[in-house]
A and B are shown apart, each in its own frame.
Chain A
């Protein structure tokens, strides 16, 4: 087995707390992703998904309310936007950049790409990039592949080619990965040290897995657990000087009790001095310069052996 292919996506060990530095001596990085997808299944956004009261709420009152809360707490977010949404809500998406938010790509229609042929996936990435560039006036720097509420795994899906194709298309970062809680490198080729910077994501800080989860009508509303996860992670990461991130969906977090909770949490968070709240692209640019893969990717040569009767 070359390196640990098929087992790991990154190197042997994360950076320790003491190795971390943020711009201007900031003590902790705080990042926020807002997912504008309304896809319910692996095929991505369908006409049915777009024609629900929740989708309408998410694009109107929910998003407006969320933006207002972000504005109040001077929080900047990265909006993960499927090409379909950029196309159907062109002015809305464009207006987000005026408030200092970043627009990143989130698939053509937030479809599951894991089974796509390489050429098919390349075409989808190209078309998505083109549509977003047209709407925002600039090529997106980042690509997301976030999970949906009904997914089998709450982690998001990529194909064996995704990372390579994103590099080929000039993307700076992949917006969601789970191998670390700080930015880290996804190794697409061991020999040439070809890597794509990956920003951390974790479903315990994603509203959709706590609010009327797994679907509306279940009555399983656990905003308290979500809040305790946010608080607990923020406090712990702040103490360590690392990175805190949360993932929000306007159709979920924009609704009354949840919006109030977010508002209060952000007020608490803003009470801490020395936070750095970049967009994902700003964070990626800083990281690529401060911790370039050439110096910080610590890939040990493999000591793996193949045996009959064992996984290879």
Chain B
């Protein structure tokens, strides 16, 4: 291999890294509304048994997910309401047909309903992808009385923009909210970063993401509460942001509701902790830290 070949590799790799970096616009000087030191988004991925069904898992697995719709979501609404927390419920469109009563209670309490795909997948076929997104927007609008503006999905940015979405909450290239653009540099969306460290499924769910028995390290809520509190304290100290991702079929279990109750209670002992919906955070960022001209 000659030096020329090696230099060519450097050019190619650097260009790949640069192009990826250029699709991200961070907000290093992020500020919050007067008096706010940290924004904490409590978010629920309300897929209940849908992902289990999509993967053709057996009946007991469906029942495990069903707990989220029959029990968990109700307890989480009660918990958020008791603390004055406005949460965001990322909801697959199909859940509107499975648990409409619970979703109406979510809306009644002033929480945000956002997109979490039609049946917890993004079809590869562009026509079907749009069909699924359109169905979800219609279903969520019917329940919430307004169209969703946020998503937790890998739907294409162009399609999301076309349907009026302003934010996504998926990845974590930065701990603060940031903008993401597509390959062409357009179709900007604000991303509200969520990290697996602050995701209940990583600690409590058996067989998450298809992992086998030997990969399981299920743990207890006290340990998880400690990890999340440490993450909160660090972001609090830098005036940052925290997105807590929960699944009602896991966090809705009584022992975890009790842990969340203690965690939120502790957060509230500090001044300047803001518990808005994801949409409120997104609108604040877009208004005060706008994206590149004309991109959103």
A residues whose Cβ falls under 8 Å from a Cβ of B: 4, 6-14, 16, 114, 145, 149-158, 160, 176-181, 184, 202-204, 209-210, 213-215, 220, 222, 224-226, 228-229, 232-233, 235-237, 239-240, 242, 300, 302-305, 307, 309-311
Are A310 and B66 touching (Cβ within 8 A)? no
| A-chain residues with CB within 8 Å of residue B123 when the two chains form the complex | 309
Are B97 and A304 touching (Cβ within 8 A)? yes
Contacting chain A: which of B20-28, B165-173, B215-223, B285-293?
B215-223
Min Cβ gap A15→B in Å is: 10
| A-chain residues with CB within 8 Å of residue B70 when the two chains form the complex | 10-14, 179-180, 184
**Who on chain B is nearest to A218 by CB?**
B214
**Who on chain B is nearest to A234 by CB?**
B255
13 contacts between A and B (CB under 8 A): A8-B63, A12-B69, A16-B74, A150-B213, A154-B213, A158-B59, A160-B59, A179-B67, A213-B216, A226-B220, A232-B258, A304-B97, A307-B135
**Who on chain B is nearest to A222 by CB?**
B219
A225 to B223, CA, bound (A): 8
| A-chain residues with CB within 8 Å of residue B97 when the two chains form the complex | 302-305
A150 to B216, CA, bound (A): 11
Are B66 and A153 touching (Cβ within 8 A)? no
A157 to B221, CA, bound (A): 27
Are A233 and B216 touching (Cβ within 8 A)? no
Taking a contact as CB atoms closer than 8 A, the residue among A13, A157, A210, A235 that contacts B74 in the complex is: A13
Are B213 and A151 touching (Cβ within 8 A)? yes
Beyond contacts A178-B67, A233-B253, A311-B119: 6 other A-B pairs, Cβ-Cβ < 8 A, are A7-B98, A10-B66, A181-B71, A204-B220, A235-B255, A305-B97
| A-chain residues with CB within 8 Å of residue B57 when the two chains form the complex | 153
Q: Is the interface of A mostly helix, strand, loop or mixed?
A: loop
Min Cβ gap A215→B in Å is: 8
Are A204 and B218 touching (Cβ within 8 A)? yes
B257 interface contact, C-beta 8 A: yes
Are A236 and B101 touching (Cβ within 8 A)? no
Min Cβ gap B269→A in Å is: 21
| B-chain residues with CB within 8 Å of residue A180 when the two chains form the complex | 67, 70-71
Min Cβ gap A29→B in Å is: 13
B146 interface contact, C-beta 8 A: no
The 3 A-B pairs at the shortest CB distance, nearest first, are namely A232-B255, A236-B254, A228-B220
Min Cβ gap B78→A in Å is: 10
Are A155 and B64 touching (Cβ within 8 A)? yes
Q: Scan residues 245-268 of chain B and give those whose CB is less than 8 A from a CB of chain A.
A: 253-259
| B-chain residues with CB within 8 Å of residue A9 when the two chains form the complex | 59, 62-63, 66
A71 to B217, CA, bound (A): 32
Min Cβ gap B8→A in Å is: 44
| B-chain residues with CB within 8 Å of residue A210 when the two chains form the complex | 218
Taking a contact as CB atoms closer than 8 A, the residue among B59, B135, B212, B219 that contacts A225 in the complex is: B219
Decide yes or no: A181 and B131 within 8 Å by CB, A6-B53, A228-B221 being known contacts: no
A300 to B100, CA, bound (A): 10
A251 to B69, CA, bound (A): 36
Are A153 and B60 touching (Cβ within 8 A)? yes
Are B62 and A7 touching (Cβ within 8 A)? yes
Min Cβ gap A265→B in Å is: 13
A300 to B94, CA, bound (A): 16
Decide yes or no: A310 and B119 within 8 Å by CB, A153-B61, A235-B258, A305-B97 being known contacts: yes
| A-chain residues with CB within 8 Å of residue B53 when the two chains form the complex | 6-7, 311
Decide yes or no: A152 and B258 within 8 Å by CB, A6-B53, A178-B63, A303-B100 being known contacts: no
Min Cβ gap B6→A in Å is: 44
Decide yes or no: A154 and B221 within 8 Å by CB, A14-B71, A114-B58, A179-B67 being known contacts: no
| B-chain residues with CB within 8 Å of residue A220 when the two chains form the complex | 217
| A-chain residues with CB within 8 Å of residue B94 when the two chains form the complex | 310-311
Are A236 and B207 touching (Cβ within 8 A)? no
| B-chain residues with CB within 8 Å of residue A184 when the two chains form the complex | 70
Taking a contact as CB atoms closer than 8 A, the residue among A10, A213, A236 that contacts B63 in the complex is: A10
A203 to B218, CA, bound (A): 9
**Who on chain A is nearest to B49 by CB?**
A7
B99 interface contact, C-beta 8 A: yes
Are A203 and B220 touching (Cβ within 8 A)? no
| B-chain residues with CB within 8 Å of residue A204 when the two chains form the complex | 204, 218, 220, 253, 255
Are B101 and A13 touching (Cβ within 8 A)? yes
Are B216 and A214 touching (Cβ within 8 A)? yes
Q: Mask for B37-61, Cβ within 8 A of A = 1, else 0? A: 0000000000001100110011111
Are B254 and A157 touching (Cβ within 8 A)? no
Are B58 and A179 touching (Cβ within 8 A)? no
Min Cβ gap B76→A in Å is: 14
Min Cβ gap B223→A in Å is: 7
Are B67 and A309 touching (Cβ within 8 A)? no
Decide yes or no: A232 and B220 within 8 Å by CB, A155-B60, A181-B254, A311-B53 being known contacts: yes
**Who on chain A is nearest to B67 by CB?**
A179
| A-chain residues with CB within 8 Å of residue B67 when the two chains form the complex | 178-181
**Who on chain B is nearest to A303 by CB?**
B97
B206 interface contact, C-beta 8 A: yes
**Who on chain A is nearest to B212 by CB?**
A152
